[in-house]
Amino acid sequence: MVLVGAGRTDAGVHATGQVIAFEVEWTHSLGALTRAINIQLPDDVAVRDLEPCTDRFHPRFSAASRVYEYTIVLSQDRIPAMRLYAWQMYGTLNVAQMNAAAAHLIGPHDFAAFGAATTGESTERNVYRAEWREVAGDYRQLKFVIEANGFLYRMVRRVVATLVRVGRGKLAADDVAAILQSRDATQVKDTAPAYGLCLVDVTYKNV
């Protein structure tokens, strides 16, 4: 069986909304097929839903947008349960300034400063939303949601690391616009850890 996915992620990145396509001969219900596949999968992978598709559908090339979410935990104490799912750090972050900086990313831009394309591909992408929000809970948790028509290699992790520098007062919000316009990858100093990143959704239109 050949599997075709909506995209690839770095090692350590999670996905709750990955989409794959495959061809299979099956005479029973989709629910029975879901159960049959999940029995064979390792414990850290599961099929959530199955739908029939046409020959025109391609998980990657038919996608209208992808949505990633990055989680940060701010705590003076380690939170072992979040060790593999969030970037844990001490201190505080200025979320308002981080959102002001993130606003510069929205729209069509050349994101060469924040990521690399595969050979021959353009580094231009269109970001539809990019925002931080605080999640209520036992400890302070921030989530960064970014949606675009596509992403460059390590683009989201480098964006997050840059916005964290803004939150820590090491960069001004407008500095992010200057970095973006520079198209110079050497302007981005850090890459956020992979384990805080998750592909949460892939959207499609007219398929």
Q: Parallel, antiparallel, or unpaired: how do β-strands 140-148 and 124-135 relate?
A: antiparallel
For 28, other C-beta atoms within 10 Å of its C-beta total 9
- Kindly name the residue from 10, 110, 175, 201 that is annotated as catalytic: 10
Q: Is 10 a catalytic residue?
A: yes
Half-sphere exposure of 190 (CA within 13 A, CB side): 12
The contacts of residue 96 (CB under 8 Å, 6+ apart) are none
For 119, other C-beta atoms within 10 Å of its C-beta total 5
The contacts of residue 204 (CB under 8 Å, 6+ apart) are 57, 62, 63, 64
Instruction: Give 79-141 as a DSSP string.
Output: -GGGTTTSEEESS---HHHHHHHHGGG-EEEE-TTT-BPPTT---EEEEEEEEEEEE-SSSEE
The catalytic residue positions are: 10
